């Protein structure tokens, strides 16, 4: 809806992160996109995803001034993603969310233009080819991001541990220790059905290094749990004017002839 677009564009302009180059010169593989279901192409070669996360590698949760990130120790192949459209092994480095000021919008991807109140991103980098996330970010096939849509419904028990930690990181740059969180509890029960396409980071540097894997099945969280996401602030404790962390999503980008493949018919 226009209001949503307006909110996102306002954020786009206002947020410091967006003061940099807004587009990748000649970027025609940008994200997010609208997934047009009837135009996606079933690919029988797509394998099931192999997701193997070790809760012991969970380190901290922090507010980076645009979202909140749960970061993992990615110095070894302990929490990995492989299979699906991927040729190599990818290491989980962090997960975060994007959400709206209302339940009417907030996701980055849409399905047949349908908006969800929020979207989870599990960010992985190719540890077969690169030795650091920062390196992989700049390379084709450097990253793999799993996207999971959130819908408002019953309370998500696994998410509650994370929600309880948010008041401690209300302001930008605040960090708290966060251990033994099993990111796999945030995945839908069915991870065999997904769409996949080649795209980009949805925040600067917007590099086109991402194999996107968007789950068909959403997860449910409660209204109150989402409300705690919205109690976070974009601003640091010192700033006079405090701004609620909401509408932290990028507007949709054109497909530019790309094909979205599906792992299911
Ligand atoms: O999926 C994505 N969501 C974001 O906020 C982008 C990003 C940018 C840098 C690091 C990790 C993720 S890419
Ligand atoms: Zn994201």
How many Cα atoms are found within 13 Å in the side-chain-facing hemisphere of 233?
17
The verdict on the CB of residue 91 being under 6 Å from ligand 1 is no
User: Relative to the CA of 201, which ligand 1 atom is closest?
Assistant: 13
Any idea which ligand is nearest the CA of 64?
A: 1
What pLDDT digit, counting tens, does each position of 132-143 carry?
999 999 999 999
The verdict on the CB of residue 203 being under 6 Å from ligand 1 is yes
Any idea which ligand is nearest the CA of 143?
A: 1
Distance separating alpha carbons of residues 58 and 80, to the nearest angstrom: 13
Q: Given pLDDT bands bounded at 50, 70 and 90, which one contains residue 149?
A: very high
Report how far ligand 2's centroid is from the alpha carbon of 96 (Å): 6
Q: Region 180-194: what's the mean pLDDT?
A: 97
CA distances from residue 34 to 24, 29, 69, 83, 195 in whole angstroms, order as listed: 19, 13, 24, 24, 11
> In whole numbers, what is the pLDDT of the chain averaged over residues?
94
Task: DSSP letter for 244, please.
Answer: B
pLDDT at 41: 98
Q: Given pLDDT bands bounded at 50, 70 and 90, which one contains residue 1?
A: very low
Q: Which residues sit with Cβ closer than 5 angstroms to ligand 2, an ion?
A: 121
Q: Region 147-154: what's the mean pLDDT?
A: 98
pLDDT at 10: 73
pLDDT at 26: 61
Q: Given pLDDT bands bounded at 50, 70 and 90, which one contains residue 9?
A: low
Any idea which ligand is nearest the CA of 120?
A: 2
pTM summary value: 0.94
Query: Which of 230, 215, 129 lies closest to 170, judged by CA?
Result: 230
What pLDDT digit, counting tens, does each position of 233-257 carry?
999 999 999 999 999 999 999 999 9
CA distances from residue 238 to 166, 169, 233, 241, 246 in whole angstroms, order as listed: 19, 14, 12, 9, 20
What pLDDT digit, counting tens, does each position of 93-133 carry?
999 999 999 999 999 999 999 999 999 999 999 999 999 99
Residues 57, 72 contacting (CB under 8 angstroms): yes
pLDDT at 12: 61
The verdict on the CB of residue 31 being under 6 Å from ligand 1 is no
The verdict on the CB of residue 145 being under 6 Å from ligand 1 is yes
The verdict on the CB of residue 201 being under 6 Å from ligand 1 is yes
Please say if the pLDDT value at position 6 is more than 80.
no
Please say if the pLDDT value at position 48 is more than 50.
yes
Percentage helix, strand, coil for the chain under 3-state DSSP, each rounded to 5: 20, 30, 50
Query: Which of 256, 237, 253, 234 lies closest to 245, judged by CA?
Result: 234
* Test site for ligand 1: of 96, 135, 215, most ligand atoms within 8 A of the Cβ: 96
Q: Given pLDDT bands bounded at 50, 70 and 90, which one contains residue 209?
A: very high
- 152 Cβ contact list (under 8 Å, min separation 6): 103, 117, 220, 221, 222, 223, 226
Residues composing the chain: 265
């Amino acid at each position: 809806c226009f209001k949503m677009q307006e909110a996102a564009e306002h954020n786009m302009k206002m947020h410091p992160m967006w003061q940099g180059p807004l587009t990748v010169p000649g970027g025609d593989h940008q994200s997010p996109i609208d997934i047009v279901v009837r135009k996606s192409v079933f690919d029988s070669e797509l394998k099931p995803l192999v997701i193997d996360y070790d809760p012991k590698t969970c380190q901290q949760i922090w507010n980076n001034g645009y979202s909140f990130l749960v970061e993992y120790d990615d110095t070894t192949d302990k929490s990995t993603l492989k299979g699906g459209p991927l040729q190599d092994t990818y290491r989980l480095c962090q997960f975060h969310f994007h959400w709206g000021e209302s339940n009417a919008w907030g996701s980055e991807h849409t399905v047949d233009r349908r908006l969800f109140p929020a979207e989870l991103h599990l960010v992985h980098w190719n540890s077969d080819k690169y030795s650091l996330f920062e390196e992989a970010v700049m390379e084709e096939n450097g990253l793999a991001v799993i996207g999971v849509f959130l819908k408002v419904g019953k309370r998500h028990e696994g998410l509650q541990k994370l929600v309880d930690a948010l008041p401690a990181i209300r302001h930008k740059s605040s960090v708290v220790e966060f251990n033994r969180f099993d990111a796999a509890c945030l995945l839908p029960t069915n991870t065999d059905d997904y769409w996949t396409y080649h795209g980009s980071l949805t925040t600067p540097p917007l590099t086109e290094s991402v194999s996107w894997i968007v789950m068909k099945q959403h997860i449910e969280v409660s209204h109150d749990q989402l409300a705690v996401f919205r109690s976070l602030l974009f601003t640091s404790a010192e700033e006079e004017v405090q701004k609620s962390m909401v509408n932290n999503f990028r507007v949709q980008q054109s497909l530019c002839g790309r094909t979205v493949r599906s792992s299911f018919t």
